Chains A and B, each alone.
Chain A
Amino acid sequence: NSSSSNGNTFLLPGATVATILMLGALHARRLYDDKKVEEAKEKGFEPGFQPDAKASFLGLLPLRTISRMWGSLMSVELPVKMRPYVYRAWARAFHSNLEEVALPLEAYPSMRDFFARRLREGCRPIDNDSQCLISPVDGIVVRFGELKEPGAMIEQVKGFSYSVSALLGLNSFLPMVSGKDVAEKSSEVENVHRDQTKKSWWRVSFSSPKFQEPVPASPMKGLFYCVLYLSPGDYHRIHSPVDWNVLVRRHFSGRLYPVNERATRTIRNLYVENERVVLEGHWQQGYLALAAIGATNIGSIELYIEPELRTNRPRKKFLQSEPPEERVYEREGVGCMVKKGEEVAAFNTG
């Protein structure tokens, strides 16, 4: 009895030490891999797409549930005295700039409220040149360019691209890329854009298949894209890039993989798989779409033009790949008009 009880007394500490050593080794290996990638990038060599065991393992995890649990943890109200210490620790870990925070740190009841903080007035001056399109968020420019080939693919990382229509939804009224033919059709579409009295047009347009086929771009219009990554310490509200009319909102209830640089190199179709909200509409130059894509630690996307929308809700098992849920904004038949720089949405935890 004494030897078996001795054995048991050593079992728990032994297993704990072994687990910590194993996790430490994995972490060290990951730091080594990431250092190799950084060195390669400094030499101008961009590592290509390479799925790994970690990506496959992530695919097995209940990431949406983990995200909601994380959100519940972040929603716990903190004692007032503790708040400045917690938020300063977060700011130090994720390089947030506390100088710009709109309210005193004690005013944010929970980490989730601090995460969705506003900035002080004047912190983000809007470039009002009417010819420019502004950044809707704080972040890092991951990729940008013009969509050339008819398939309209965006490179996720060297060696792997995803389709824009898969990202925005098959119902999208994404103009075809540089359609040589039927210029008059696109001018017809543009005329209708301008003619705001035809209320029924937009309603019809999104219900009848006729208008759901991609609208060809007029010969002198190109289709451009820009991918922006927000790190955990960034300001997480989304502003309008131009003056535009938001006509449709499409919510894809998807996975919640992490979207950091490593995930883009190892998870196939990352942005097409993940939970996201797509806003589609038009601006003075034609078509415009904004896709807000969630991640494990940021499962919630809130819209100011539709406060009742909820994302990352529990899903019934058999509805794993449910179709996107769509809403056509009907104010006066021209959808919601949003001014350049105006707050449109916000990312949040949970």
Chain B
Amino acid sequence: STVVLVFQAPVAKSTKDNTPSTDFRFNIKRGDRIHVGEALGR
């Protein structure tokens, strides 16, 4: 079986004053094995 997630999240802002951007980033790679509770992205 398969689960598909679709969600809104912040995208990169052009930060002129170098404040840390709040954009969402995945921290996975294709083919990774993942478990319930592990972060897909932040």
Contacts and interface: CB of A to CB of B under 8 A. Distances in A.
Instruction: Answer yes or no: are A and B bound together in one complex.
Output: yes
Interface of A: 124-127, 129, 131-147, 154, 164, 167-168, 174-175, 178, 217, 220-230, 235-239, 241, 259, 271, 283, 285-295, 298, 341, 347
B3 A286 contact: no
B5 to A, nearest CB: 5
Nearest 8 A/B pairs, CB to CB? A286-B8, A222-B11, A132-B39, A126-B37, A124-B36, A291-B4, A132-B42, A293-B2
Contacts of A134: 36-40
A222 B2 contact: no
A221 B9 contact: yes
Given A220-B10, A271-B2, A285-B9, A138 B31 contact: no
Given A124-B37, A133-B41, A228-B5, 5 more contacts: A137-B3, A259-B1, A286-B9, A288-B8, A298-B1
Interface string B12-42: 0100000000011010111111111111111
Contacts of B23: 222
Task: With a 10 A CB-CB cut-off, give which of B4, B23, B37 has the most chain A CB atoms.
Answer: B4
B32 to A, nearest CB: 4
A135 B8 contact: no
A239 B37 contact: yes
A295 B5 contact: no
A241 B1 contact: no
B14 to A, nearest CB: 11
Contacts of B8: 175, 217, 221-224, 285-288
